A and B are shown apart, each in its own frame.
Chain A
Amino acid sequence: MKPPKPGQKYSPLGQLVLARLREFFRQPEVVFWVYGFPILMVVALGIAFRNRPVEQIRVDVQDSSYSSGVADALGASPKFKVQRGDADICRLRLRTGKTDLVVIANTGRQYEYFYDPTRPESLLARNSVDDALQRAAGRKDVAEPTDKELTEPGARYIDFLVPGLLGMGLMGGGLWGVGFVIVDMRIRRLLKRFIATPMKKHHFLAGIMLSRFLFMVPEIVILLLFSWLAFDVRVQGSLLTMMVFIFLGAFTFAGIGLLVGSRANTLETVSGLMNLVMLPMWILSGIFFSSDRFPAVTQPFIKIIPLTPLINALRAVVLEGHSLTQLLPEAGILAAWGVVTFALALRWFRWT
């Protein structure tokens, strides 16, 4: 922030930033959505996908004259949670997801497995049950595998999720904190009131940007600190590289926010535009699961939309400890988005 010029008692940039900060922190509901909401997401998803003690496999054995033999064979292993019932009940429980697999014993050695092959847990149940029944029937395994479990920090879903949420927060913050705020000011004719004064336009835009960066700092710190304390999520790479990408992401999405808000003069228009911009990235950019899962033809598009390189870079730093030089392509795409959207926004910007 520049010191005020001689003869100028108040710094306009300082005052503009101060005004934005006051507006923001004096609206508790806004503060909650920006700072509290990502934490709730981490808590909810962290608990939902925590590493539980290996879960029991739910198996229903349909009543028949051979069913008790099957139920006894499976009941011997703690892996299985066995229930018995008639055909209708078993079918209903399978359809409603209360059981993973229904076993129908036609004879002592002929079994039918009834399940939904698109449900991963059903596939798992089918294979485990089959193994157990085969062994019970006298199969001898020839190989001798031993199981080792992977549980160390850095490899869990929560470690994967936190960089995704960081990216999502940067995107939402840029679009809401810049685009929406500017349109709101335009509707209230505050923009017009400002340019009716000798205010410098670049002071106004710089003020919006600076305050956006300032709001972002606690957002990031709180999320990282909470994930570290509650879930032991650690950043493997350098914090400096992390910060470079956070600022780059904040800058890029502020530029996109500015562009989205450059002309709209109703809240409906800007909300529609923001959804149009954010929705593809929410879905495709890999916030909650890897974007590699989408079909190959869509990959070039997915790779170029700005949230993808941001999340990929953050993930690479947090999970794999990549350095800035390894992540130059991601940085380049982000910077290009930021510069181009900024330039367009400044050209199209409408004050009244």
Chain B
Amino acid sequence: MPTAIQCRSLFKRYEGKQPVDAVRGLDLTVETGECFGLLGPNGAGKTTTIEIIEGLLQPTSGEVEVLGLRWGKHEDRIRQRIGISLQETKLSEQLSILETLTLFRSFYHQGLEPADVIERLSLEEKADARVGKLSGGQKQRLAVACALVGDPDLLFLDEPTTGLDPQARRQLWDIIRDFGKQGRTVLLTTHYMDEAERLCDRVAVVDHGKVIAVGSPRELIASLGGEHIIDFSLNNGDGRPPLTEAELAPVPRVQSVRIEDGHFSLAVAEPHVALPALLSLLKDLNRNLASLTTRHASLEDVFVSLTGRHLRDGESNAPVSNA
């Protein structure tokens, strides 16, 4: 079976008064049957990348292969086999769910019965309701349903759960997992690390138009060297100079230290060893804890350790490219 998606050194420049390089040399391989996530802050180039792969945008340079086929040569063959949910589409408010799905179904040679898709997405009760009357979660499920009704081998979802409440997000995750269980491929973009962690077999962390790390969420987290994080901060009311990284060296099993505004994050492999050592060290140094928590490391920590920034504040210094 060929790889589902193959991109080689993709570049995309949006021309204008100030040209924006949204994608700068991006390589990507998505295997058949995996759920693959593009994770990155807003403006990292995720949407531009996925729309190039979907054949909706022309790359400035680079190669794209989808299901072993190429845009330009096999346009219709690819379109018949992929399903797409765009970041933002306002479907006709006057049509019902069933009518909308029947319309989309009519574009494909082969596909699923609209009524079956409605059942699969638990929209039966709303089948005859107008799109304009649906909740945000229902609209988003309908958007995914429109992508599924052609019975695709490869599903593209651009920020499928942005703006949804937790329950609606979980519903959508179940739908995507079900699709993946049939041995089909999903490529999705998200800026929610928990979504990528729970849903994706593999994740590519995208920043400034490049892939800066690829792997399963577990691998990426393990690459931090420790799967647990000890967060703490100190009372600095006594005017002493802040604690330095060197002073923390005696604590065993610490893989990395991050200090941010007086807030310390230690990545540790074995918290039950590191934590008592840390506490006794702080006592010896006569430092008082203001707060202390431990947690599992997340993709957020991976992103921060790779870029020095948080996923959610990536907007300010990254190019805007959600065109």
Q: Give me the interface of A with B, judged by CB distance under 8 Å.
A: 7-12, 14-16, 18-19, 22-23, 26-27, 188-190, 192-199, 352
From known contacts A189-B89, A190-B89, A198-B79, infer whether A22 and B108 are also in contact, taking CB-CB under 8 Å: no
A22–B104 Cα distance when bound, in Å, is: 15
Asked whether any CB of chain A lies closer than 8 Å to the CB of B80, the reply is yes
28 CB-based A-B contacts, threshold 8 Å: A9-B106, A10-B102, A10-B106, A12-B107, A15-B102, A15-B106, A16-B103, A18-B103, A22-B95, A23-B94, A23-B95, A27-B94, A188-B89, A188-B90, A190-B90, A192-B86, A192-B89, A193-B84, A193-B89, A193-B146, A194-B107, A195-B56, A196-B79, A196-B84, A197-B108, A198-B107, A198-B108, A198-B109
- Give the residues in chain A near B79, CB-CB below 8 Å: 196-198
For residue B54, CB closer than 8 A to chain A, the reply is yes
Verify A14–B106 contact, CB threshold 8 A. yes
Q: Is B271 an interface residue (CB 8 A)?
A: no
- Which B-chain residue is minimally distant from A189 (CB atoms)? B89
Contact A23 B92 (CB under 8 A): yes
Say whether B56 contacts A352, CB under 8 Å: yes
Q: Closest Cβ of chain A: how far from B228's Cβ, in Å?
A: 43
Q: Which residue of B lies closest to A193 (CB)?
A: B89
Interface hub of B79, B89, B102, B106 (most chain A Cβ within 10 A):
B106
Q: Which residues of B contact A11 (CB under 8 A)?
A: 106
A10-B105, A197-B79 known; A189 vs B94 contact (CB < 8 Å) = no
Residues of A within 8 A of B109 (CB): 7-8, 198
In the complex, are the beta carbons of B94 and A26 less than 8 A apart? Answer: yes
B110 interface contact, C-beta 8 A: yes
**Does B88 sit at the interface, judged by CB under 8 A?**
yes
**At the interface, yes or no: B99 with Cβ under 8 Å from chain A?**
yes
Q: Is B306 located at the chain interface by the 8 A CB criterion?
A: no
Closest Cβ of chain B: how far from A197's Cβ, in Å? 4
B59 at the A interface (CB under 8 A): no
Q: Is the CB of A199 within 8 A of B107?
A: yes
Interface size, B (range):
20 to 34
Contact B88 A189 (CB under 8 A): yes
Q: Is the CB of B180 closer than 8 A to any CB of chain A?
A: no
Q: Shortest CB–CB separation between residue B72 and chain A, in angstroms?
A: 14
Complex Cα gap A11–B150 (Å): 14
Task: Name which residue of chain B comes closest to A11, CB basis.
Answer: B106
Known: A19-B99, A190-B92. A196 touches B80 (CB 8 A): no
* Residues in B neighbouring A16, C-beta threshold 8 A: 103, 106
Query: Which residues does chain B contribute within 8 Å of A15, judged by CB atoms?
Result: 102-103, 106
Q: Are A22 and B107 in contact (CB under 8 A)?
A: no
Neighbouring B residues of A22 by C-beta, 8 Å: 94-95, 99
Measured CA separation A11–B105 after assembly (Å):
10
Mask: chain B, 47-83; 1 = CB below 8 Å from A; 0 = not: 0000000101000000000000000000010011000
> What is the bound-complex CA distance between A308 and B76, given in angstroms?
44
Distance to closest chain A CB from B80 (angstroms): 5
CB-contact partner of A190 in B91, B105, B108, B150, under 8 A: B91
Closest 9 CB pairs between A and B? A10-B106, A188-B90, A198-B79, A15-B106, A26-B94, A199-B107, A196-B84, A197-B107, A12-B106
Give min CB distance, B71 to chain A, whole Å: 12
Query: How distant is the Cα of A23 from the Cα of B105 in the complex, in angstroms?
Result: 18
Closest to B105 in A: A10
Tell me the nearest residue of chain A to B111, going by C-beta.
A9
Inter-chain CA distance A177–B84, complex, in Å, is: 28
Residues of B within 8 A of A7 (CB): 109-110
| Measured CA separation A157–B79 after assembly (Å) | 57
Chain B residue numbers with a CB within 8 Å of A196 are 54, 56, 79, 84, 86
User: What's the Cα separation between A15 and B146 when bound, in Å?
Assistant: 14
Give bound CA distance, A11 to B102, whole Å: 10
Interface residues of B in 122-146 (CB under 8 A from A): 130, 146
